[in-house]
Amino acid sequence: MQIHDKFFVPFLSEDQILAAVKKVADNIAEDFKNETPIFVGVLNGSFMFVSDFLKAYQHPCEVTFVKMSSYEGLTSTGIVETLLDVSENIEGKSVIILEDIIDSGRTLKHLIHMFSNINVKEFKVASLFYKSEVYRGEYPIDYFGIDIPDKFIVGYGLDYNELGRNFREVYQLKQPDMINLVLFGKPGAGKGTQAEFLKEKYNLKHISTGDVFRYNIKNNTDLGLLAKSYIDNGDLVPDEVTIKMLQEEVTKNVAASGFIFDGFPRTTVQAEALDAFLMTKNMKINATIALEANDEVLIQRLLERGKLSGRSDDQDEDKIRNRFDEYNQKTAPLKNYYQEQGKFHSVDGIGAIDDVTARLAKVIETL
Ligand code: IMP
Ligand code: MG
């Protein structure tokens, strides 16, 4: 469901909400049924909660409202304004605040301050929803309905820029899906260059398998030492060691909006291992993009690069052709693997860097 520019998914049903309201009412009744407390609803968000709460609280009580505002869009502005002050004479009464939601606790702090110079009998706070993970206040919440994770919600009085208050259920902001890409291309096709642009543009983490290997070996990590033991014996590093290194990279970068895998997978077996690992993280490859370029163009590029960098494998045309052959042999089956899943895309890698980036972006934006 869309509200303004954002998408929301169902989070709590009407029944779940009403059960939570009843729980709060029952808990408060246990403590206050023998007196006449005054409930203070915090507008606007709490109007539905207060209404259902009072239907569930069938004991003597009074009710009034205050109005505050601190939210702009999805985040608290930090500035809490009092728009409607306590009007009733509440001196000497037991005051119970009814909040729809407690998030950072700034609004609550302001409320507590508001009541601090009034001589009340007792002061309690009840909130239907409570984001305990992000609550920064010192005041312990006396009663709450449901402890919810730190995700923006709408419905049942709560709004996103004033819309959504009238929903009977509560919806949660849908996190934008991750974009996980595999970048293919022969040596010289521009994978590294394009990965730099894509990672900026889409907040992705670029995982270059070569870099990850060099990092682990250079820093003598457990996996680096293990990999080195194979290399020193002239053996290929087993896939599971490589996969473990990649797993660590993914786990270290959980906040990324996605990953660009570069240099891995190189075989179908590796692609299967990568899929299996991503599945355990609730992730998947969204697209595999091959940067295509004519061999003769690439050879010229690599020879140029070899002159500048001094990399010996970039200076010998035969060696370059061998690397191309290897790519052709191994990537062909991989292409089928991803094509069967409808994830394979091919992009012309010849032209100005900007133009190639634009072609890649066009593919990514269809995902
Ligand atoms: P706090 O001051 O950060 O505790 O935020 C409290 C106020 O922010 C609430 O009374 C709501 O108006 C608003 N708010 C906090 N979290 C959400 C949410 O997830 N959805 C909608 N409004 C929210
Ligand atoms: Mg609000």
* CA 103 to ligand 2 center in whole angstroms: 11
- Cβ atoms of 80 and 52 within 8 Å: the answer is no
The answer to whether residue 323 is catalytic is yes
pLDDT of residue 175: 76
The answer to whether residue 191 is catalytic is yes
The answer to whether residue 311 is catalytic is yes
pLDDT lower than 70: segments of the chain: 70-85, 87-88
Catalytic residue among 22, 284, 305, 343: 305
Which residues, including other chains, have CB under 8 Å from residue 156's CB and lie 6 or more apart?
A: 12, 17, 48, 49, 100, 128, 165, 167, 168, 169, 170
Whose alpha carbon is nearest atom 22 of ligand 1?
Answer: 158
Distances (CA, A) of 305 to 185, 187, 310, 315, 318: 16, 11, 8, 8, 16
pLDDT of residue 53: 98
Q: What pLDDT, in 10s, does the model give residues 217-274?
A: 999 999 999 999 998 998 888 998 999 999 999 988 877 889 999 989 988 999 999 9
Which residues, including other chains, have CB under 8 Å from residue 365's CB and lie 6 or more apart?
A: none
pLDDT of residue 97: 97
Strands 122-130, 170-173: pairing kind: unpaired
Tokens of 311: 């990399």
Q: What pLDDT, in 10s, does the model give residues 66-116?
A: 998 765 566 665 666 666 667 668 889 999 999 999 999 988 998 998 888
Closest listed ligand to the CA of 68: 1
